[in-house]
Structure formats: structure tokens, C-alpha cells
Structure 1
């Protein structure tokens, strides 16, 4: 069963598990299950994704329950009126805060402007030898993408030489292998923990929070991060 974070007659939001595709995609390949189908079967109603999350990214995923609401939400996302906040664990210690303004090339070989703001939340140094170093450093950051390019956060953090832990394509494979062999970690440490927008019908400000998954918590514990400060659940009544 998918965890439902919010539901009314126009919208529904879930806490998407890591590894679940939102829908069928040429670029992502085939899968045995898709969030759009699982949610439709769970509630017995068609749903329409208002935005996307990568397969390996967990967290807040918003759907509409009708096409008119979908058009309104599409406009909000396109006009950058929706604030998306992510928690991620990176290799090394970043700056305390930074805006990454670095163009990305999309799947059609088109250059696109891409902007990400992040601020560092916590740092960690553990007794884990890596290369010539006897310890390894990591940090927990909150990232807020101003644009919504494919794999934007993964590519931007690679660009500043602080890749996301567990990211294969745009990460550090030596670190990923180290964590797999030492801690049996197989997931990517990227979680969409908050979505803020105005309700498309009532115009009420909606803030949706998604708690991190068990694997993110486990890695956070290894690094002595206090994740409870940033993962409070949403407080909305759900229809029975």
C-alpha cells in the first residue's frame, strides 16, 4: 500500500518509495509496477501526475484527480510557483550554502538553464578509510531546485564535486562500492521531503511533508545525523 499524505476531491499526494517509477517512460525503461497504476488501483480512481520524481528518488509525489486541476497545477509548476525541497546526503563537506547556476544538456541534446539552491544542515566524519584518507566526510543538505531538469540535483552536486551518496550514474562509484561492501547500502540518498503550493481550487497554502524511508534513516544513523528535525509528517485529515 502506498502511503497517502494528502487527499481531497481534487488532489492526492503520496510518499513515493525509492525504486518505484512514476509511469512508463522511454528513458527509464520497463518496470513491474508504476506509481500511477498502484495508486489508481489503491483508491479505485484515475490519477494524473502533476510532476515527476526519478525512480530512485523517494518522497512527496502529487497527483490530480481530474484533468482541469491538472492543467492548473501544470501552470503552477511551469511558472515556478511550487517550492520543492529535498534532503540528500553528499560526499564531503559542501559550503554552508550556495546557488548552483549550471546549464544541463537534456536527453535531446538541448542545453537548458538549471538553477539549484542548497544549504548545509549537518556534517559528519566517520572512521571509514577511503583512498589516502583514514576517515570519510559527508554532509546532509536541503536542496531547492528553482528549475526542474532531468536528474538536476544529481548532476549539479556532481558538478560541485559533492556527489549524492548512492547515485550511480552521476555519483562516485568508488564511494558507492565502499558503502555497499561496508554497510550493504543499495539505495540513493535523495528524498523529496517537502512540497509547498497554493491549492488550485481554494488557493489555500498547502505544505506536504514526507518522512524519509528506513534506509535513509539507517544511513543517517551511521553518520549521526538527526533527521527528526526535517521529516515531520503532514497534518491533514484524510477521507476514510
Structure 2
């Protein structure tokens, strides 16, 4: 099993590229699974790691984890208080709007209670169309098929928020078995060699919980999405796999974790 690609690491936190299809941790909804990001990374680093946010199993991209429970608490608070800048790339059906804020309220999907018992919560996602393509093939009922490359910036953190917002707006993400359309998913899987959810977390930025600096994490797309972007003429939108952060500084006087 290949090691996870570490994008950033210091004595308090680590960021990795989570592959599509890899569960972050054990879940009651995925009994019988034996491969998890937490276990892999713990074995790779030889120490315990603590998750502070989540990515859906089929979503790939940058994920940050703490190396102590105290740092995990600080980072989790930053995520919950919307102090983390997040950027995703998604391939969607149709020609998406040039720019729009989606604010459909969403019910939490935790699998423990009927949806009717879950209150609808306010949510916001900013989307921007980066590119689009029209293919001369009949995938659905129309003689041509249109798809868009969308940048999504979630301003809140509900489960499946980007997937549900784009689907609700009429532009489901390709490869989304739950919120998408199977005929387009099959077309990308069988004709374009892209059998996965085409959603990737490409950027995270946040204030370091202990150092006086801003951490900016950028994550490359996986081979499947890179090949697809090349095929569709979107190579100019490929993100770089890099970290831009000022040189390390002395920890602030207060916390010793």
C-alpha cells in the first residue's frame, strides 16, 4: 500500500492528500471496511493523529489533522467558526452560472434519525464557473452534452453540502451516485475513464493554532482528474501541489501542548 502524500508537517499538525475512495475513519455506515486514512497515517508517522474536519469517502484532496488532542480542539473550533478558507473543484453537468451564492437550507444527514426529524440548517456555498465544454454526443435526451468546471467555496460545513447544493441548483457533480444522474456518471466512467466522484478539495488556508503565521495548503488533483482535464481542454485550471507559508516562528508564549 503506497504511503500517503504529506503536503505539510510540523510538530503540531500534518496535512495529506486523501485519495478518492478512502474512508477517513471507522463508521457505522461502513461496517466491514478495514482501510482508513487515520490508521494509514498513524502507521506512516509512527504516532497518533486526530481528525479536525471531514471529507466524504469519494472526495479527494487536502486534509489536515492534528498531532495532539489540544491542537485538534483548536483546529476544530476554527473550522466550526468558519475561520478556514476552503476551495474545491468539481465537474458538473450543464453550463453552470458564471458566479452565484447557493444558500439552500439543508437537513443534517447523520444516518441516525429520519430526515423528517432533522431541522433544516442555514448553509452557504459560493460557486464560480471556471470553464465549460460542449461534447457532440447524446448522453441524455439532448443531441449534445454540456459540462462545467466549477470552483466551490463552502462558507458553512454541512455534510455533503457542495454535492447537495449543486444538485439542488440543477448542476449535479459527475460521479455522484446519490445526488447525481446515473446516465452521465456512466458516460464519464465508460467513455472518459473517470469512474469517481469528480470533486476535489484543492485548497485550505487557516491561522496556525500555535505559530503566528497563516498556513496555505494546495493539493494537486489525482491522475484520473488530471487526465480528464487534459482531455477536456481544462489543463490551465490544474492546481499546484505546494505549500506556501512563512518561515517557522517561535511558538506564542502561552501554550505548551
The answer, yes or no, to whether TM exceeds 0.5 is: yes
Residues 70-108 of structure 1: per-residue CA shift (max 9 Å, x gap): 111111111100111101111111110110001112234
1:226 Cα deviation after fit: 2.0
- Provide the residue aligned with 2:79 in structure 1: 77
Whether 1:166 aligns to 2:175 is yes
Higher mean C-alpha deviation, range 22-31 or range 83-92: 22-31
How far apart, CA to CA, are the structure 2 residues paired with 1:172 and 1:91? 9
- Provide the residue aligned with 1:62 in structure 2: 64
Cα distance change on mapping 1:30 and 1:115 into 2, 3 Å? farther
Cα distance change on mapping 1:193 and 1:96 into 2, 3 Å? same
Whether 1:123 aligns to 2:132 is yes
1:233 Cα deviation after fit: 2.2
Match of 1:183 among 166, 178, 192: 192
Residues 117-166 of structure 1: per-residue CA shift (max 9 Å, x gap): 11111111122222332221111111010111111111111001100011
Whether the aligned pair in 1 keeps the contact of 2:61 and 2:220 (CA below 8 Å) is yes
Cα distance change on mapping 1:98 and 1:232 into 2, 3 Å? same
Whose Rg is larger?
2
1:228 Cα deviation after fit: 4.7
- Provide the residue aligned with 2:15 in structure 1: 13
How far apart, CA to CA, are the structure 2 residues paired with 1:20 and 1:227? 27
Match of 1:103 among 102, 105, 115: 105
SS in 2 for 1:206: strand
State the superposition RMSD in angstroms: 1.6
How far apart, CA to CA, are the structure 2 residues paired with 1:203 and 1:148? 25
Whether the aligned pair in 2 keeps the contact of 1:57 and 1:190 (CA below 8 Å) is yes
Whether the aligned pair in 2 keeps the contact of 1:88 and 1:190 (CA below 8 Å) is yes
TM-score (norm 2): 0.88
Structure 1's unaligned 5+ residue stretches are: none
Cα distance change on mapping 1:99 and 1:29 into 2, 3 Å? farther
After the TM superposition, which segments of 4 or more aligned residues of structure 1 sit over 6 Å from their partners?
none
1:232 Cα deviation after fit: 4.4
